[in-house]
Structure 1
Amino acid sequence: MTKVQSLKISISGVRGIVGEALTPQLLAAFAGALGTYLGRGPILVGRDTRPSGLMVLNAVFSGLLSAGCEPVDLGICPVPSIQVRTASVRSQGAIAITASHNPVEWNALKFIGSRGLFLNNYQAEELLDIYHQRNFAQVPAQEIPRVRQDSRAIPEHIQKLLDYFDARIVRGARLKVVIDSVNGAGSLAAPAFLRQLGCRVIEIHTRPDGLFPRNPEPLPENLGALRKAVVANHADVGFAQDADADRLAVVDAHGRPIGEDYTLALATLFALERRRGPVVTNLSTTQAIDDIARQLGCPVIRTKIGEINVVEEMIQSHAVIGGEGNGGVILPEVHYCRDSMSGMGVVLQLLAARRQPLHAIVASLPRYVVIKQKAEFPPDQVSRLLDALERRFPDARKSTLDGLKLSWDDRWLHVRPSNTEPVLRVVAEARSRSQAQALVRDAQRIIASLK
């Protein structure tokens, strides 16, 4: 990987490979840019468990202090906990130090505003302008603040979850749960939350040392240890988080992953049965969401990929539930953020209230097969590729809101540049695996022909 490829600066933040392009100087500069943009005052900083986290943390402190901001160290902390705490204490904003599902050699900065929401496109562009122009605020030595500690982020987040869910019903069910936190930030939060819900908890990969025992992306192919542990312990359900604990994968009592998209499908069913209202999700999320919402008389609004795009539409439309098909559940009453523990609460309350095994609840939902792939492709040739795909499928409905999505009544194909990696995302869904595979094959064939 070249130095250029090992760094990605975008509206989603800055991420890169530590020791290559992600240097202390670059990190301090971005922190200084955020301090300049948000203004003097407290800025919360939390991190996942990666071994590079301490280096990144101190570089961030340096940049914030030089701009006259007061860093508030939350320690190792899930990203949703950082967001909840930011909104609660009304700080200037926050920085989450995490590369999420990327491998351990990566790290990143994610920028959060005063309401505990990620910066939107307009705000992120303003921040990037400050960074590129190097026009940073600087304060004299006598005005440099001190770093302050705050250990309340995780307890406050857990309490908000307990206030939202019917803990009495869940406690009464005495569910047995296996939790796999990939030795990430969720290790310090998820087991405690599950025990406060009265679950009998079996922990795997909950040592917060950042040495990921599996690929941190909670895809079915990475959940072998969890699947075995669920079956071996006769558990009711298994949960897997990514390194920063915003995404959730779920495994049923037979050790079968239900699929990331169906985490949100279950949450949609749960939320709409409690209260009718709009659902917001992105273009790459399963059509099962539309089917569930239609059965309950509720509209679905689709957005570009990216948490902040979903969140802003949720606020605008007063949505009851939202999220993304990568296992990201957003419950507005908890906070406008993707939150793996919100997803856990949904599944546990459904199991407790319905007194059915998870596989039976999932079997009652509309079924689709989703295939997700990546492809390397020159960024300057993407528009040419999308034109070729559109010509290949002239009978499809098209959306160019985010890349190109081609839709039919029973299937769809979505191709777009990734927001977090230098690749294309190729996602297809259909009623059968063969139909979805055919769509992906056609897309990959066209991609290969144009490289």
Structure 2
Amino acid sequence: MKGVQTLKISISGVRGVVGDSLTPTLLVKFAQSFGTYTNGGTVVVGSDTRTSREMVKHAVLAGLLATGCQVVDLGICPVPTVQLAVERLHASGGIAITASHNPAEWNALKFIRPDGIFLSTYQAEELLDIYHQGEFRLADGISMRRVRVEKGALEAHMNAVMACLDVDTIRRRRFRVVADCCNGAGSVVTSEFLKRLGCEVITINDTPNGIFPHPPEPVQENLTQLCEAVVAHGAEVGFAQDADADRLAIVSDKGEAIGEEYTVSLATELVLGKEQREGLPARPVVVNLSTTALIDDIAAKYGCPVIRTPVGEVNVADTMKREGGAIGGEGNGGVIWPEVHYGRDSLVAMGTVLQLLAERECSVSELVASLPKYHMQKLKVPCTSEQAQRMLSAIKARFASHRIDTRDGVKVSFEDGSWFHVRASRTEPLVRLVVEAKTEKRVNELIESVQEYLGAEEFAKPTFAG
């Protein structure tokens, strides 16, 4: 789209298109900024499998070493592996090299603080101040340290997740699982993790070469191959990860993509039920503004409150930590279980879903049928930042008579329980629209009302995102 900038700097880190906005010079400067921010401390680095990872990694290493950091290199691994390693090694921070669900031509840096959570808005602003000032910490040649290679991070990650699961119950079920790793970071750990849970594992797209066989966002239109494989192999469940393996989508025993909103919903069902059986007091569930209302139904069943935050993993994680959340995450397939760590984790999502299925002695399709039914559509509107702001202002004015939440874009809620949420993406040059209601007819009505008000002349036609 003409005029749309490909460089995105936000609480989600810095990301851009390699060979365009994401240059070696920019990467070195951001790494120097983070090295200065950590005062030359220990920094853990890991990456997904993108073909640009070597260039990005070497630029990052150069910037960190120049500031005197002790760099711990994990190699290819999921983002949650990096987060856990930062905590386990008592590091000053971490950098995950990944553009997550973005297309293959993108790459990014995600900055992690000592507690294994991404930088908050305030902390990210501090880092940006260092970047813009350009006054970086400099180490002399004698004091520069060698990069330390860490081999045990994946093992530690698997053990941390399994320690919080009822592994014996899962193993007795002997699940047959198909896993689609999208040739991303999950390729180096998912099969082994599932085998340790007693599963018969069929993997597709599990070569860690960064050649994505389909767009890496785990949404319905990208799961055709997985759906077919589940049916072909007679599997009980299919799991799809994004490129950095922090998000998970689920395919049922019938070969149907059930929708990524069910991932955090099923994990919530498992954890709240477990805590109730253990006689623990009801604790909050923390999710973002765009997450399905199914979460409210599940939480109400167990007498637990729901706290909603602006979109962004750090917003959910910080609120969970502050409010003592039992479980949380985001409706994009991200599950955060504090018993393991405060970060979205596809291994946590797989483990909790498998345990729920094993405890209930049912199939994925039976489990979904037992829950309240909602209809949701997610759409994208490519636009510039300026267009996005005009769009949000117009919607806020148009729906001012309804209940509005403006903490992150504009969320409008209606008396019948339906709602829509419009916000500018922090990771791509576009606006995201999420609409949910009890009927498909109502969803379409809301989509039409928003689209009609925005007008087709100025803004690109939205495309369905799941």
Q: TM-score, normalised by structure 2?
A: 0.94
Report whether the alignment pairs 1:416 with 2:423. Answer: yes
Aligned to 2:198: 198
Distance 2:98 2:106 in 1: 8
Letter in 1 for 2:449: D
Aligned to 2:351: 345
Distance 1:128 1:394 in 2: 35
Aligned to 1:39: 39
Structure 1 residues 135-193: Cα deviation after superposition (integer angstroms, max 9, x where no partner): 11111111111111001111101001111101101111111000000000001111110
Aligned to 1:323: 329
**1:14 to 1:333, Cα distance in 2 relative to 1, 3 A:** same
How far did 1:375 drift? 0.8
Distance 1:55 1:106 in 2: 13
Aligned to 1:255, the other structure's residue is in SS state coil
Distance 1:285 1:19 in 2: 35
How far did 1:390 drift? 3.4
Distance 1:25 1:390 in 2: 40
Aligned to 1:284, the other structure's residue is in SS state coil
How far did 1:444 drift? 2.1
Q: Which structure 2 segments of 5+ residues have no match? A: 276-281, 459-466
Report whether the alignment pairs 1:406 with 2:412. Answer: yes
Report whether the alignment pairs 1:392 with 2:398. Answer: yes
Aligned to 1:415, the other structure's residue is in SS state strand
Distance 1:294 1:314 in 2: 18
Letter in 2 for 1:25: T
Letter in 2 for 1:85: A
Aligned to 2:163, the other structure's residue is in SS state helix
Distance 2:325 2:447 in 1: 32
Q: Which structure 1 segments of 5+ residues have no match? A: none
How far did 1:370 drift? 1.1
Letter in 2 for 1:428: V
Aligned to 2:124: 124
Aligned to 1:269: 269
Contact map agreement 1:285 1:324 (CA 8 A) in 2: yes
Structure 1 residues 247-278: Cα deviation after superposition (integer angstroms, max 9, x where no partner): 00000000011111111110111111011310
How far did 1:450 drift? 7.8
**1:266 to 1:25, Cα distance in 2 relative to 1, 3 A:** same
Distance 1:380 1:208 in 2: 38
Aligned to 1:69: 69
Distance 1:450 1:320 in 2: 46
Aligned to 2:285: 279
Letter in 1 for 2:386: D
Aligned to 1:16: 16
Letter in 2 for 1:432: T
Report whether the alignment pairs 1:358 with 2:364. Answer: yes
Report whether the alignment pairs 1:82 with 2:82. Answer: yes
Aligned to 2:132, the other structure's residue is in SS state helix
Aligned to 2:176: 176
**1:255 to 1:449, Cα distance in 2 relative to 1, 3 A:** closer
Aligned to 1:440: 447
Distance 1:190 1:207 in 2: 12
How far did 1:391 drift? 4.0
Structure 1 residues 65-93: Cα deviation after superposition (integer angstroms, max 9, x where no partner): 11011111100000001101110110111
Distance 1:96 1:201 in 2: 28
Contact map agreement 1:385 1:446 (CA 8 A) in 2: no
Distance 1:224 1:449 in 2: 30
Aligned to 1:147: 147
Letter in 1 for 2:76: I
Aligned to 1:249, the other structure's residue is in SS state strand
Aligned to 1:426: 433
Distance 1:69 1:278 in 2: 38
Contact map agreement 2:4 2:383 (CA 8 A) in 1: no
How far did 1:447 drift? 2.5
How far did 1:402 drift? 0.7
Report whether the alignment pairs 1:295 with 2:288. Answer: no
Distance 1:221 1:449 in 2: 24
Contact map agreement 1:4 1:21 (CA 8 A) in 2: no
Aligned to 1:164, the other structure's residue is in SS state coil
User: Percent identity, aligned pairs only?
Assistant: 52
Aligned to 1:310: 316
Distance 2:142 2:44 in 1: 22
Aligned to 1:232: 232
Structure 1 residues 99-133: Cα deviation after superposition (integer angstroms, max 9, x where no partner): 00111111000000111110000000000010011
Aligned to 1:167: 167
Report whether the alignment pairs 1:248 with 2:251. Answer: no
Aligned to 2:386, the other structure's residue is in SS state helix
Contact map agreement 2:40 2:137 (CA 8 A) in 1: no
Aligned to 1:104: 104
Structure 1 residues 323-380: Cα deviation after superposition (integer angstroms, max 9, x where no partner): 0000000000011000011110111111111111111111111111111011133423
Aligned to 2:91: 91
Letter in 1 for 2:286: V
Contact map agreement 2:181 2:241 (CA 8 A) in 1: yes
How far did 1:55 drift? 0.7
Distance 2:349 2:118 in 1: 20
How far did 1:416 drift? 0.8
Structure 1 residues 283-314: Cα deviation after superposition (integer angstroms, max 9, x where no partner): 00000001111121110000000000000100
Distance 1:5 1:398 in 2: 29
Aligned to 2:113: 113
Contact map agreement 2:53 2:97 (CA 8 A) in 1: yes
Aligned to 1:46, the other structure's residue is in SS state strand
Q: TM-score, normalised by structure 1?
A: 0.98
After superposition, the CA RMSD in angstroms is: 1.4
How far did 1:61 drift? 0.4
Distance 1:86 1:399 in 2: 35
Distance 2:127 2:453 in 1: 37
Contact map agreement 1:385 1:450 (CA 8 A) in 2: no
Aligned to 1:186, the other structure's residue is in SS state helix
